[in-house]
Chain A
Amino acid sequence: MSTLHTVNKSPFERNSLDSCLSVAAEGATVLLIEDAVGGALQNTAVASTVSDAMGKGVKFAVLGEDLRARGLSAERVIDGISVVDYAGFVQLACDHDNVQNWL
């Protein structure tokens, strides 16, 4: 069983990403969308949290449309995080058994 976790709350404001990562298992994917996309950038206060989770086998993706809307360049995303579009979002949902939304 693999799960796609979607997080849409800012990791600088809420604990949604921390809660998500506390239960995300190896092989799971965390997709950052909406207000959460800032967590995908390099050199932030949460970058080590994301990197640590990646080291434990959790994959990360971020929605490119939401990055662009906020003026954040895909080039500044942490190495290893894939930037996906809406079609990629759908594909991720199809590739996993379940989708958990961390509202």
Chain B
Amino acid sequence: MSDTKTFVYMNRKAPYGTVYALESLEVVLIGAAFEQNVKLVFMDDGVYQLTKNQDTDGIGMKNFSKTYSALGDYDVNQIYVCEQSLKDRGLTLDDLQELTYEDEDDDWAEKSSIHLVSRDQIAEIVGSADVLLNF
């Protein structure tokens, strides 16, 4: 496609307490149908969105965390997680669910979609955006 743009989604809110996380995920999935270059950034409380073993039975809300694992099938495989935000919250990469995609340019090898990044790298990612969406 000749008019491909880079879409950057900034995710800064924890899930369930507010609706931002779910809204972002829904917009990402809708946007994925348009075959654009999509990058997701998770920083500040947004890193809580990707924790594994989420169990919402006790709060009576839909657990949408499993949907993130479908992103790779929609060619959404550039997921950037702020390392400092994890550290501030006592979390590490091991606390996050594994998100992978199959690389068609590398014999469909399964690769991780998640990249730990610094604030400087996030600045570069934001700078690369043609379209910036904030949640």
Binding site for B on A (CB under 8 A): 8, 10, 12-13, 34-35, 38, 41-45, 47, 64-66, 68-73, 76, 85-86
Contact of A69 with B54 in the complex, beta carbons under 8 Å: yes
Contact of A8 with B88 in the complex, beta carbons under 8 Å: no
Contact of B55 with A68 in the complex, beta carbons under 8 Å: yes
Query: Residue on A with the closest CB to B97?
Result: A71
Q: Which residues of B contact A73 (CB under 8 A)?
A: 53
Query: Residue on A with the closest CB to B15?
Result: A70
In the complex, A98→B51 CA distance in Å? 35
Contact of B17 with A68 in the complex, beta carbons under 8 Å: no
Contact with A35, one of B17, B51, B65, B95 (Cβ below 8 angstroms) = B17
Contact of B44 with A13 in the complex, beta carbons under 8 Å: yes
In the complex, A65→B54 CA distance in Å? 10
CB distance from A58 to the nearest CB of B (A): 20
Interface residue B5 (Cβ < 8 Å from any Cβ of A): no
A-B contact pairs, 7 of them (CB 8 A): A10-B14, A35-B17, A41-B90, A44-B90, A70-B54, A72-B51, A85-B58
Most buried by A among B18, B51, B88, B89: B89
Binding site for A on B (CB under 8 A): 14-18, 44-45, 48, 51-59, 61, 63, 65, 88-90, 95
Most buried by B among A43, A64, A68, A71: A71
Q: Which residues of A contact B14 (CB under 8 A)?
A: 10, 35, 38, 70
Q: A70-B48, A71-B95 are in contact. List 10 more A-B contacts (CB 8 A).
A: A10-B17, A35-B16, A35-B17, A35-B18, A35-B45, A66-B58, A66-B59, A69-B61, A70-B15, A70-B54
Q: Which residues of B contact A35 (CB under 8 A)?
A: 14, 16-18, 45
Q: Which residues of B contact A13 (CB under 8 A)?
A: 44-45
Query: Residue on B with the closest CB to A46?
Result: B88
Contact of A69 with B90 in the complex, beta carbons under 8 Å: no
In the complex, A43→B92 CA distance in Å? 11
CB distance from B22 to the nearest CB of A (A): 13
Contact of B90 with A65 in the complex, beta carbons under 8 Å: no
Contact of A42 with B90 in the complex, beta carbons under 8 Å: yes
In the complex, A44→B63 CA distance in Å? 25
Contact with A76, one of B17, B18, B59, B90 (Cβ below 8 angstroms) = B90
